[in-house]
Structure 1
Amino acid sequence: MRLLSVNLGRPTAVPYTDQPEGLTGIDKRPVDGPVRVSAPGPKGVGASGLAGDTVCDLRHHGGDDQAVYAFAREDLDAWERELGRTLAAGAFGENLTTTGLDVSGARIGERWLIGSEVVLEVSAGRIPCLTFQGHLGERRWVRRFTERAATGAYLRVIVPGEIRAGDAVEIVHLPDHEVTARMQFQAVTTHRELLPRMLAAGEALHPETLAAARKYLARHGE
């Protein structure tokens, strides 16, 4: 298990975002050399956890619980075959392109040691948006991505430091529950009946999902 690339985005003007300035940082490209990773601060204020990376829409992206986004090269390869086009590392707006790691199947609260010092913790799957659809230029992309539910994973920064392409990834903590990034994504999108099961992940759960699960239980019971 290792990082194939570390990808950063610069603010780019596009016609498919609803940001007032028309800017997005979704077009991320691999970079050479080490990149500093640290907790960026709360959502709405903090942006990316990677130095030099841009988050333009602070309403929905960035912040401590979504500091880093990882996606598996194996899932990019599967989409390449289906779409009939090349998808470079960073094509899905991911900061980390991995190999040998089931990113969407990672458990909420699972922790990864990357290189010799950085520790990241899985918090949620990625919900697709119209900016993502515009970036890919594929019809019905939001629906197709949602149906596949190979979401990748958002991660918190537990121990800051530097990472670079080629770093080993080691799972150093595996929680004793079955709530994965994929399941969390399904619970907040297409299968809301899964919400009560999310509580097994405890405080490691993304706070918005935790609130949704508690609200669902208050309305519907067990």
Structure 2
Amino acid sequence: MRRGQTKQNSHSKRFVGLRTKIDKTKAYPMEEAIKIAKETATTKFDSSIEVAIRTGIDPAKSEQQIRTTVLLPHGTGKKIKIAVIAPADKQKDAKAAGAELVGGTELIEEIAKTQKTNFDILVTVPEMMKDLAKIAKILGPKGLMPNPKTETVTPNLKRTVEELAKGKISFKNDDTGNIHLSIGKASFDDQKLLANYQAFIEALNKRKPASIKGIFIKNITISSTMGPGIRVQI
């Protein structure tokens, strides 16, 4: 970096340089957009490849809110730590399925005492939800509170944990009706990223609100972490 040049200016020049590889007037086929997103992934770490979708929902209407899950066939490239809170007779299956942290009410007491959540996702069974109320204020702000809509409250712990370990993730719209999801890493093969993207779009279309008027998916862009956005054909 030259004397007098700020880190922000350096980043801006890098970003501007990457943008020259993209025709901003064009919407690219996803296959081509993936290649460009990977080419513009210049971070020192393995960048995530992220998809942003602008929908036509009215986020102020509860019946148009989107919150669901998708099983990405090739995962996100990120290893997640799964915790399970369940009765003793169901804990063995949860461990066998891949949960790293498994317990019952004693785990709830530990979280309440330490205020610590050393996991990425928490799964439970319906009958334990009343017990989780004790730590709802700890889990809620971190997005860790189990919810039937994300299938983290389930009677079938084994299947749910196995699917989460394979790459099942939840997504929802933000306050402006946009949806963001990582479909993998820049190191992924192009076809794996494409398959993950197709699974995402299929899951999203299945959750199209019945009350929506007009266009559901208005705009799609793909980018690498800290990379420029590439508009994708719908």
TM-score by length of 2: 0.23
Greater percentage in helix: 2
Higher relative contact order (CA 8 A, sep 6+): 2
Rg comparison, structure with higher value:
2
